[in-house]
Structure 1
Amino acid sequence: MTEQRKLLYTTRMPVRWGDMDAYGHVNNTVYFRYFEQARVEWIEKMGFPIDPNVESGAVIISADCTFLIPVNYPATVEIRVYVGQPGRSSLMTWYELYVEGDDRLYAEGSAKVVWMEMATGKSAPLPDAVRAACNG
């Protein structure tokens, strides 16, 4: 059974020359950075700054990526962030990566996000604003 996904956020980022590897395309590790940046922008847009001094915040406990088509410089990538049904303290996020001006899907990935109490390292209930964004 496929979990229902909701598109919550889209962002664009330029591909930098330094993102490429010896083969002339974006290095596989950089895709995770693109997904991370999109996730951070989405979380901050909801009013939760990424700051080591906050009481609680979002961390990921797993991440994956499937590379479908190589991305080459110069380009601008578009990352779409989707979420699933939230649990008590966690939610699944999925990512689609496109190159601006091209309808083909270049990569797709996911990350499980857990809301964590920074002082204890234990999970905490998702904030109401996050839950509302996922359910609304």
Structure 2
Amino acid sequence: MGAYVAEVPVRWSDMDAYGHVNHARTVTLLEEARACLLFQEAGRRGLRGLADGMVVARVAIDYHSPVVYSAGPLQVTMSVRELRAASFIVDYTAHAGSEASVATAETLMVPYDVTEGRPRRLNDSERAFLQEWQVATTNTEPLRG
């Protein structure tokens, strides 16, 4: 299928004293976009497990230009890569207004069993859903720990 695009509103309260969206709020905006894919879209298709337990193991963001409230909503294009038995990476490209790209990012996601208090493996349905969002060209830099 390819990339998934979510539109996330930028709030006035997301801006800092310098007039642009600060790092912590950018992480939240990306989280809201990711929830559209992993919770809403997956739930629409009958997959509830991703919303029941998913943790971010690592996040990396590269900023290309400031995000400002006046640019309007953030359009976040997401794809999946490195789909493994118990983890996957979500790649993001965020656009605001007419900017080519304000940020690129990636998160290492791990399915989590809240009841057992430990990571779990993806089931076949979750894996098939995530495979739909794999694209040929994604971020090529690996996450560094």
Q: TM-score, normalised by structure 1?
A: 0.82
1:135 Cα shift?
Answer: 2.5
Please list the CA deviations of residues 19-53 of structure 1 after superposition, one character each: whole Å capped at 9, or x if unmatched. 110011111111101110111111121122776xx
Q: Which runs of no fewer than 5 residues in structure 2 stay unpaired?
A: 133-145
Q: Which runs of no fewer than 5 residues in structure 1 stay unpaired?
A: 1-5
1:78 aligns with 2:41: no
Equivalent residues of 2:59, 2:107 under 8 A apart: yes
1:134 Cα shift?
Answer: 2.8
Structure 1 Cα separation of the partners of residues 27 and 2 of structure 2: 19
Please list the CA deviations of residues 5-25 of structure 1 after superposition, one character each: whole Å capped at 9, or x if unmatched. x84421112221111100111
Structure 2 Cα separation of the partners of residues 85 and 131 of structure 1: 11
Aligned length: 126
Q: Which of residues 96, 111, 116 is equivalent to 2:112?
A: 116
Structure 1 residue runs of 4+, over 6 Å off? none
Q: TM-score, normalised by structure 2?
A: 0.78
1:130 aligns with 2:126: yes
Greater per-residue helix proportion = 2
Match of 2:93 in 1: 96
Aligned-residue RMSD, C-alpha: 1.9
Q: 1:61 to 1:99 in 2, by over 3 A?
A: same
The correspondence of residues 5-24 of structure 1 with structure 2, limited to 5 A, is: 7-24=2-19
Structure 1 Cα separation of the partners of residues 93 and 79 of structure 2: 8
Letter of the aligned partner of 2:122 in structure 1? L
Q: 1:135 to 1:50 in 2, by over 3 A?
A: closer
Q: 1:32 to 1:11 in 2, by over 3 A?
A: same
1:99 Cα shift?
Answer: 1.0
Please list the CA deviations of residues 77-115 of structure 1 after superposition, one character each: whole Å capped at 9, or x if unmatched. 101111013111110111111013x15110011110111
Greater per-residue strand proportion = 1
Structure 2 Cα separation of the partners of residues 27 and 67 of structure 1: 11
Match of 2:142 in 1: none
1:62 aligns with 2:58: yes
